[in-house]
Structure 1
Amino acid sequence: MTKTTSDARHGSSTMTVRLTAEAFGSSALVLAIVGAAMFAARFGAGTETTDQGIGFIGIALAAGFALTSVFYAFGPISGGHFNPAVTVGVAAAGRMPWREVPAYVIAQCIGGLIASTLVFLIGLFGPEGWLEARRVEGFASNGFAAASPAGFGLGAAIIVEALFAAVLVLVILGVTHPVRGTAFGGVVTGLTLAVIHLVILPIDFASVNPARSIATAVYGNVEALTQLWVFVVFPIVGALLAGFAYRGLFDVPDRSVDSAAERDS
């Protein structure tokens, strides 16, 4: 991302270029998360090489590192959302026009689907039965109840998806603020996503990104598809609340600065 999320909208990039950047960034992010979960998280399970798997910590780090990378690579072009919930939150905060939201969301979902399709194609050439077993398990899809890694129910999934999507959006709005933003925004945002994954991977396999959830549910089992609505609706609800809250609480004019300027004049 640039210093402010809306800077890219006012720059020289055309809408087509920005959407392409969002699709590429979303694809890289989903590829890192799903690839880590599918190929590396449980590597060697049931064999003498079990300890070579990266587990939840590895998935969380993959998510954080990937977001940091695409933040700096594509953020200056598109604003660096790579997540429909972030796009909605940014619009709610007044950083981009609502009319651009559908195109961004579509591009992000296409990017995510490209990533999960690539994982699927790689799996076709895996060991016999490997791909079918991963699909039966859900293809790294998000889920609750029986589909939750630790058996958490629907209520837990709703709360954590809304809450941590809101946290992610608040951090992004903060680090990309036109006045208070920081050049280390990509690092901060990546660390935030990694921490979010560390907390909620056991609960519902960590979404906070509808594009990521859609991308895996398409190749998962029936349960992944029937539970998908939770991971589309509630990250967006949390992002909306965060965007409106940030705009009302933190994007208000600094009266002390105005008063000082008036005194100086």
Structure 2
Amino acid sequence: MKNYFAEYFGTFWLVLGGCGSALFAAGIPGVGIGFLGVALAFGLTVLTGAYALGPISGGHFNPAVSIGMFVSGRLSYKELLPYICSQLLGAITAAGVLYVVFLGGETTVIDNNLPGAFADNGYGDLSPTGFDVISAFVIELVLTAFFIIVILGATDKKANSKFAGIAIGLCLTLIHLISIPITNTSVNPARSISQAIFVGGDYIFQLWLFISAPILGAVITGVVWKYLLEDSKS
């Protein structure tokens, strides 16, 4: 059970730190952290969570990562569903905390017709800069695929495990630097679902993309890693 609690708390930390920075710190005139700051915040949550909780659960904090680990043979089928449930619960709990805090501001209003409402992900009219559904699907799939490659490589038996958290955290930072303007960056179904529950509107109807594209990217990478990249002698 400890590994499931670790996934719960790790995903909670990711959503609280990443989405929280986007909600409260990104847009303050003159002193806001902007896209770069939000990208760093997401990377830092994974980096710190990986070192704190990775030894317990592996530090997935993302259903797509767990699916990629399962397909590549690093996670058993008995653990897959409990991992995903723990991650979803952690993300939703964190989004609930953010929701309570957000509504306490004097001028904060959630308008689900605007891009990036409640730090959620979207395409088309809900994309930060108007990217369509094809662009959104492709970037979410490709970036998730490479995220899983970095995770699998950094945690391989032949890799220096002391630096795995740094590599993974910096990879997620880079991913956000690329795709915040396109989709507000998901690569994590739990992160998207948790925010959409509270923002509602068309964000709910667009969730299919932010669930299917990361999962497909994870499955592809799991297969590629297992049959093309992994050293069977390691």
Aligned to 1:17: 2
CA deviation vs aligned residue, 1:183-240 (integer Å, no higher than 9, x gap): 1000000000000000000000000000000011011131110101100111000001
Q: Tell me, in whole angstroms, the C-alpha distance in 2 between the residues paired with 1:253 and 1:132.
A: 50
**Structure index of larger Rg:** 1
* Contact preservation (8 Å) 1:163, 1:238: yes
Aligned pairs for 1:174-193 within 5 A? 174-193=153-172
Single out whichever of 219-228 and 17-26 deviates more from structure 2. Answer: 219-228
Alpha-carbon distance, 1:252 to partner? 3.7
On the 8 A contact 1:25/1:74 being kept in 2, the answer is yes
1:75 aligns with 2:74: no
Q: CA deviation at 1:139?
A: 1.2
- 1:253 Cα offset (Å): 2.9
SS at match of 2:46: helix
Give the total of aligned pairs.
232
Give the secondary-structure state (helix, strand or coil) at the position aligned to 1:114: helix
Cα deviation, 1:45-68, whole Å, max 9, x if unaligned, reads xxxxx1111111010000011110
Match of 2:145 in 1: 166
Q: 1:181, CA displacement in angstroms? A: 4.3
What 5-or-longer segments of structure 2 have no aligned partner?
A: none
For residue 109 of structure 2, the aligned residue among 131, 137, 155 is 131
CA RMSD of aligned residues (A): 1.3
Structure 1 residue 179: deviation in Å?
2.5
Name the residue aligned to 2:229: 250
Q: Are the equivalent residues in 1 in contact too, given 2:110–2:118 (CA < 8 A)?
A: no
Q: Following superposition, which runs of at least 4 residues in structure 1 exceed 4 angstroms of deviation?
A: none
Are residue 40 (structure 1) and residue 25 (structure 2) matched? yes
- Aligned AA (1:96): L
Residue in structure 2 matched with residue 262 of structure 1 by the alignment: none
Q: Deviation string for 1:42-97 (max 9, x for gaps)?
A: 11xxxxxx111111101000001111000000000001100000000001110111
TM-score (norm 2): 0.96
For residue 159 of structure 1, give the secondary structure of its aligned residue in structure 2.
helix
> Among the aligned pairs, what percent are the same residue?
39
State the one-letter code of the partner of 1:131: V
What is residue 47 of structure 1 aligned with on the other side? none
The 3-state SS of whatever aligns with 1:95 is: coil
Choose the corresponding residue for 2:90, options 103, 111, 128.
111
5+ residue gaps in structure 1? Answer: 1-15, 44-49, 258-265
